[in-house]
Every structure is written in C-alpha cells, then in structure tokens.
Chain A
Amino acid sequence: MMLLAVLSGFLLALAVPALHRVAGRHIGWVLALLPALLTAYFASLIPTISGGENLLIQNQWMPGLGVSLDFMVDGLSLVFALLISGIGTFILIYAGSYLKGHKDLARFYVIMLSFMASMLGLVLSDNLITFFVFWELTSITSYMLIGFNHEDAEARKCALQGLFVTAGGGLVLMAGLILLIFITGSYSFSEILASDLAIHEHGYYTAAAVCVLIGAFTKSAQVPFHFWLPNAMAAPTPVSAYLHSATMVKAGVYLLARLNSSMDGDALWSYSLMFFGAATMLTGAYLAFSSTGIKKVLAYSTVMALGTLTMLIGVGTEKAIIAFVCVLVAHSLYKGALFMLAGALDHETGTKDITKMGGLWHSMPRTAIITGLAALSLAGLPPLFGFVAKELMFESVLNSPSWSWGLLAAAVASSILVVAVAGLVFLKPFFGPARTTPKQPHDAPFAMLIGPAVLTLLALIFGVAPFLPATFVLDAAVSSVYGSGVQTALALWHGVNIPLILSGVSLLAGSLLFIAWQGLHPTLHAVNTAGSRVGPEAGYFRFMLGITQIASWQTRVLQNGVLGVYLLILVLVTFGLTGYTLLTRHGFQLDFDFSNGYFYEFGIALLIVAATVFASVTRSRLGSVASVGVLGFGVALIFIHFSAPDLGITQLLVETLTVILLVLVLFKLPPFVNLSSPWERYRDLTVAVFAGAIMTLIMLAALDIQYFDSISSYYIENSYGLAFGKNIVNVILVDFRQLDTLGEIFVLGLAAMGVYSMVKLRAEDQHKS
C-alpha cells in the first residue's frame, strides 16, 4: 500500500497524455484526485502515529547492495507527506486554470506528478540510498519544471543554475551519506536513529557532517547558495508555489531534522546550523524587502523562512524543535497560498511588479481578503498560525543555550523586515491609488482561489486552536526530531511576556519601514546592484566561466588536432608509469633461457619477426599488407600449435577477411610516402622501442611470478558438470561469461552500423554533388 502510494505519482504521470485527451480542460481536477486520495490515506495514518508508533514498511529492491524500498512513517515524515500531498492537490487544480490552453499542459502534469512522487519518496524513504535516489529525482524533475518555458533562454539558464547547485550539493551529500553508512554500518534511517552509537565521536564524523550540511544547504538555499532559489522563479507560478512552499527547498531542512536526533550534541553541527541559519534568515529578509517583483519578494521571504528553520534546528532545545515544526507548517500554508495568489495577480493584471499595482481592492475583492489573511500569517500577527510560530521562535531563541543575544537580534531584525514585506505583498497592490495594469483586472477564477482559501483557512484554524494540529501530528513530529517524547501544549495567547513585546516592537518598526519603503527603494536598489557584483552568485558565474576556460585551455594543449602528439602523450604516460612501477617493485630482469623451445617453434617466431619488420620498413603498400597477412598466419600457427584450435581457425578466417577488406578499401588511398623528417623518425623509433622494451620486461616479470591463483580451474572442472559442454572455450563464451559475449556481439553490431552509415552518407554526398 505504501509502495503504491509513493509510486502512484509516477504511474499516473505515464497516463497523463491519454487522460489529457479525454479530460480536456478539466484535467487539473481529474489529476488532483490522486493527491487528494493520498492526503486521505496519510491522514488515516495519523491515529497510529500520534499514538507514538512508527511504521516501517519493507520492500526488497537490490538486497545484494543494501538497497531496499523501505519506507518509514514517523511524525516528521507524516507531516511532510501531508503537506506534499495536501498542497499538491490544490496546486494541480490551480495549474489547470493558470496554464489553461497551454500547449504543453500535459508535459507539465507529467513532470509535476513525477516531482510529487519523488518528493513523497524522499520524505518517506528509510533506506539512505533510496533516499538519495529520490533526492536526485527531485533535483532533475525540478530542473525540468523550472525550465518549463524552455524556449525562453533566461528560464533555461535559471533552471541549469538550480540544477548545478542542487545536483552539485547532491554529490557532496552522497559522500556524506556513504560516510554515515560507514560510521553506523547501517543503510537505514530508523536503525541509525535508534542506535545508541555516538556518531560524533567517530573519526569520520566531521567529514560526514560537513558533507551532509553542504548537501542540505544547497537544496534548502542557505547562504551562500541562496541565489538559485529566486532565479527559479522563472518557472510558471504553480511550480514556484509548490517547490518553494512545502517541497523541494524543504527537502534539505527535512534531512537536517531527520538526522538531528543522532547528530546533535556536537558543536560543529549546532553552531554551523545556527550561524548559517541566522545569516540566511537576515539575508533573505533584507533581499525580500528590497525587491519589487512580487514573486521575487516571496522567494526571498522563503529564503528567510528556510534560514529560520535551519537556525531552530541548530538551537536544538525542546522549545526550538516545537518552534521548528510550527514554523514549518505555518510557512508551508501561507507561502503556498501567497504564491498562488501572486500568480493570480500576475494572471489577472499582466504584471509581476508591485510598484505597478495599486487599488486592486475594488476589482479583486475575494483575492484581496485571502491575500490579507495569508499576509497576516507571514507577518506573524494574531490570530493566525504564523503568530504562534513566531512567538515560539522568539521564545526558543531567548532561551538558546548559546549565542542567544546574537540570534535574538537577527530574529527581531528579520521579523521587522518581514512585517514590511507582508505590507508590500498585501497593502501595495490592493490599496492606494488605482493604477492601470496591462490587463483589465477582475477576480481570479474559482480554481485559482480554492487552494489559497483552504490553506489560509487552515492557518486561521490552527492559529485560533493550535491544540488541534498539535494533538494530531505536531507532537509526534517534534518527538521524532527531538528524539524523545514531547508534549507541545501550544496556545495562541501566552499572556504578556518578552516574545509578545518583541512582536509588538517588530510590528511597529515594520510598519514604519513599510511607510518609508518608497523613499528607501532607490537606495536599496543601488546597494543590491553593487552587491550582486561581489555576491555568491557572481562567484557562481565566475566559477562556471572558469570551468569553460580551463576546459578550452587544456583542450588546446592536449588535443591540438595532431594525432601523433596524442599518441606520443598516451604512450609515454602509460609506459612511463607502468615501467616505473615495474622497475621499482620488481627490478630489471632479463631472461635468455630459450631451452624449452623446439626449433620449428623458433621458425614460427622468426617468421613473425620477419613479417613484422618487413611490414614496417617496406615502401610498398601491397608488400606491407601482404606481410601483415603473413604475420597473422604466423600468429594462427602459434595458436594451433599451442593447443588453441578455436583460436587458430578464427585467426585464419579473420586474416583472410582482413586482406579482402584492405584490398577493397585501402588501395583507394594514396601510396606510402615518407612524410616525416629523419629527426621525427628517430624520435618515434626511440619511443616505440621504449614501449616495446617495457612490454617485454612486463611479460618476463609476469611469467616469473604469480600473485593470484588462476580462476580457470573452476571453468575446467565445471564445464561438463554444470554446463553440459565439452569445448571449454565455447562453454565460457556462451554460458559462463554469456553476458560479456552478449556485449561483444552488440559491439559488432555498432561497428557494422557505423560502417554502413558512413558508406551511405558518402553515397548521399555524391548524389547531391
């Protein structure tokens, strides 16, 4: 059941093109049934999970490699699964209306459903390897979603940037996960979390922690990797609403929270989380305040929220984890809603720039009310859930075991900024003097408002009655992050205390800041332009440019187009290194003991030598080809004489065909001429003699010593018993090593196709001319 739940998104994605033809413009509603069902399914697990139980569902995948499709449901993953499928439902409905009539609507839904399924797999996986597979799947599918408008060069560039940053971080994460597997000896999250092993006392701990942190930070857009997130706004709005509220960017935070209970207690882990979290929070809040595009504003405020979440995990007290879960849920609700509303504004007015909107209250009343409520939650004002979350955040920062004053200052500063940001999002477009927008504005259609409305309503209910979500899932989620049972006891009203006073201060200061925004804006803009030249994004571009420059430099040096130079480099490096190893490990040993050979064997050897020398020195093509033929027959004689009849026959037949081939083709080419200068010839001869000498020495050494037992005896003994064949060579080819032979006949096929297409191309060229 769980396996089906996770994979159903992929399965449905396959059916989308067909469904699209049947359902037409109602496709969004039809497809939304799946996440709705999934939400119901996950909701049905709530009683079990809140009872303190964890579900572990095991499915075999590649048992030999320790990879399995095991799923674990605990409080944390259940909260995530509910958010992913719940918000996903509304996003799918919304997208049907937002992208109505788009020519690639079916493609959009295919990727979107795959993304949703990958995300569910990510939060539910118990196996570290499977987790990583899903993690990378989200990177790839989100790349395709961000670059959905692939005809737009800017969108492609932004999508690629997101992919480079997250997939690059993914590689580092993989190293971190493998180190974790080394440390704990287990592939399973649940076993790692359940073990009493003190992970941070292990020698690999620092490396593992740093790798996991980098992986999570890139995914969750922490400073200094935050720049990809706002650029990802090139995506259509439903994508932004989904990726940046509950899913993609939360994956990193999820990983941090998942591992927190076994990684905490270590200074490196908590201090880096607190430091980078607080820095991200401030940066995000400031950049949100200084932007004008409504999606950019929301994107940077997402960066801020992600920073807050990271910081709270870093603080790590019981209170902080409660705050973490509340901020997580509150943010998913209001950010999902706000993004969808921003899309509705953009859709109805034709602009994303908030300085160009005003007085929309009259024409879009319903949109305005919902935006207002969601913005209140963003600003952290009662009676919404955002308020509960923010109060808890203040309180846990106040009681933080370390850095409490620094974190508090950052928290207050960013909440002042975010109050002003909420004003920008709500007051700026809907109030003030009406402005003319590119399109005549009117309220967004039902399909675009239902999602925001439901999410905001939830935020309101959770705000007024915070014990409701708490008893259902939040307690369990907090317990799984904190590592032991916790009762949260949330309430909207705590009486007059320091957090409340701080909230009041931020509301006041934020309002003043909002009023001053008009005046401040040109200055902020100038500062940001100057800052972008030295910021991390500039670093990213310099890095990418550097890669291409180094690539073209080394191509010029190593691949200058002269085949001879490539070969010289290859030969010198290969034989130089092998020769060095041979001489240092084995020493220089020559052997001239030819006594165990018969005279006719020396005759064959002499024939081979003579043919080779003649083929190399002759001035005549025909002579050269003929003597190469003689060489081949000499080799065939060796095979036959030394007990390899199959080889002998094959060699004879191939030698014949080689001569035919050369006759067919080679004589269309000009005759031999000496092109090289004598100096070049002596140089090449020296290199060739060096290589040949090394080969002889290696062979003499190999004949002298044997490091391992031959594995041939297995084949000899079992050829008849297991494989019913008496020609052992053939049995190896078609039975024991059948897969290798299968690969080899495919190589044959490729060569044939290559020859065929080259000949055909030539015929077509001639036909044209």
Chain B
Amino acid sequence: METMMAYVIGLLFTASIYMMLRRSIVKLVIGLIILSNAANLLIFVVAGLTRGAPPLILEGASEIAGTVADPLPQALILTAIVIAFSVLAFAVVLIRRAYEVVGTDDLDKMKDTDT
C-alpha cells in the first residue's frame, strides 16, 4: 500500500505546485490546501502504514504488546494539521485584503502596486 501511496502523493505534489503557479489568486489557495495534505500524507506514509494497531496502551496494561503504528509522525502531523489550517486562514485573509487594496486577483498584476 505504501508503494501505491507514493504515486498518489506524487500526484498531490504535482497538482499543488501546478495550482500554486497559476496567476489567479484563488487557485493559489487551493494549491496551498493540497500541498499541506500532501506533506502530511508524506510524513505519515514514509514511517510505514500499520493496520488496526493505534499507538495506545490498552486499559489495564502498562505497556504495548506487539507492534503498533509509529506515534512520532502522528504527533508531528497532528500539530501540522492545526498549524496548516491557521496559516491557511492567515493566507486567505491576506489574499482578500490584497485583492481589496490592489483591485486585481491576477498575481502578475500585483507586482507594481506598492501602495
């Protein structure tokens, strides 16, 4: 399954970079969202996929029996998801503000308006 996901993630990166290179500012936002999903999946999959063994110590036990999914990438991704969301919110508001001030959603036209 990891092999399959490698190709899926490659496609996610392709789509996100293509969208971020578009001149329309809304497409940039879509690209950003895809990018953060791609990055999270990348970290998740590279650590190896484990079915049905969450990193939890069972009720009554005091240590893990057998193999469980790697908890470290999960901790990384958990904060990454929340941070990505707040950065996205920031970017979206910034973009709208820029659009209001500059009056265009074409990124190529935003470069000359310093005001």
Contact = CB atoms under 8 A, between A and B. Distances in A.
A526 B3 CA distance: 79
A608 interface: yes
A562 B23 CA distance: 9
A672 B88 contact: no
B1 A601 contact: yes
The residue in B1, B90, B96 that gathers the most chain A C-beta atoms within 10 A of its C-beta is B1
A665 B20 CA distance: 18
A692 B13 contact: yes
Interface in A639-653: 639, 641-647, 650-651
A647 B22 CA distance: 31
Nearest to A740: B79
Given A751-B87, A754-B90, A642 B44 contact: yes
A622 to B, nearest CB: 11
Interface string B17-38: 1111111111111100110011
The residue in A602, A654, A688, A741 that gathers the most chain B C-beta atoms within 10 A of its C-beta is A688
B18 A616 contact: yes
Interface string B68-92: 1111101101110111111111101
Contacts of B83: 744, 747-748
A672 B24 contact: yes
Contact of A635 (B4, B22, B37, B64): B37
Interface string A704-723: 00000011100111011100
Contact of A638 (B3, B26, B44, B74): B44
Main secondary structure of the interface of A (DSSP, over half): helix
Contacts of A692: 10-15, 17
A726 B61 CA distance: 9
A624 B45 CA distance: 25
Contacts of A759: 93
Nearest to A749: B86
B22 A676 contact: yes
Given A699-B46, A762-B100, A562 B70 contact: no
A612 B97 CA distance: 27
Nearest to B41: A635
The residue in A601, A643, A702, A758 that gathers the most chain B C-beta atoms within 10 A of its C-beta is A643
Given A625-B30, A658-B33, A703-B46, A685 B18 contact: yes
B1 A654 contact: no
A688 B17 contact: yes
Given A665-B96, A695-B10, A702 B82 contact: no
Contacts of B110: 561, 563
A650 B13 CA distance: 22
A616 B26 contact: no
Interface in A741-759: 741, 744, 747-748, 751-752, 754-755, 758-759
A696 interface: yes
A598 B55 CA distance: 22
B9 A643 contact: no
A644 B69 contact: yes
Contact of B82 (A563, A665, A748): A748
A654 B62 contact: no
A33 interface: no
Interface in A555-608: 560-564, 567-568, 571, 591-594, 596-598, 601-602, 605, 608
A649 B30 CA distance: 22
B6 A699 contact: yes
Contacts of A594: 1, 3-4
Contacts of A721: 62-63
B26 A666 contact: yes
A643 B52 contact: yes
A453 to B, nearest CB: 61
Interface string A518-551: 0000000000000000000000000000000000
A717 to B, nearest CB: 7
B33 A728 contact: no
Interface stretch (A309-317, A423-431, A498-506, A729-737): A729-737
A691 interface: yes
A567 to B, nearest CB: 6
Given A642-B50, A699-B42, A748-B86, A616 B108 contact: no
A609 B41 CA distance: 13
Contacts of B30: 615-616, 624-625, 628
B18 A684 contact: yes
B78 A684 contact: no
Contacts of A635: 37, 40-41
A720 B57 contact: yes
A567 B20 CA distance: 8
B5 to A, nearest CB: 7
A721 B13 CA distance: 40
A320 B56 CA distance: 75
Contact of B3 (A592, A689, A752): A592
A616 B35 CA distance: 12
B79 to A, nearest CB: 5
Given A643-B52, A692-B17, A755-B90, A562 B107 contact: yes
A703 B49 CA distance: 11
Contact of B85 (A615, A625, A658): A658
A650 B82 contact: yes
A673 interface: yes
A687 B31 CA distance: 14
A669 interface: yes
A409 interface: no
B11 A612 contact: yes
B65 to A, nearest CB: 11
Given A597-B1, A643-B55, A612 B34 contact: yes
A490 to B, nearest CB: 69
Contacts of A647: 44, 74, 77-78, 81
A609 B75 contact: no
B37 A631 contact: yes
B9 A711 contact: no
Contacts of A602: 4
A352 interface: no
A665 B50 contact: no
A642 B49 contact: yes
A605 B6 CA distance: 11
A22 interface: no
A305 B18 CA distance: 67
A693 B18 CA distance: 13
A593 B71 CA distance: 26
Contacts of A729: 55, 71, 74-75, 78
Contact of A695 (B13, B18, B19, B71): B13
Contact of A661 (B64, B89, B106, B112): B89
A740 B78 CA distance: 12
A639 B69 CA distance: 11
Given A562-B111, A688-B17, A728-B71, A758 B97 contact: yes
A668 B96 contact: yes
A675 B55 CA distance: 48
Interface of A: 560-564, 567-568, 571, 591-594, 596-598, 601-602, 605, 608-609, 612-613, 615-616, 621, 624-625, 628, 631-632, 635, 638-639, 641-647, 650-651, 654, 657-658, 661-662, 665-666, 668-670, 672-673, 675-676, 684-685, 687-689, 691-693, 695-696, 699-700, 702-703, 710-712, 715-717, 719-721, 726-729, 732-733, 737, 740-741, 744, 747-748, 751-752, 754-755, 758-759, 761-762
10 contacts: A564-B21, A591-B6, A609-B8, A615-B34, A616-B19, A641-B51, A644-B44, A728-B55, A728-B57, A747-B83
Given A692-B13, A726-B58, 12 more contacts: A563-B28, A594-B3, A596-B1, A605-B4, A625-B30, A645-B54, A647-B74, A651-B81, A669-B25, A717-B63, A720-B62, A726-B56
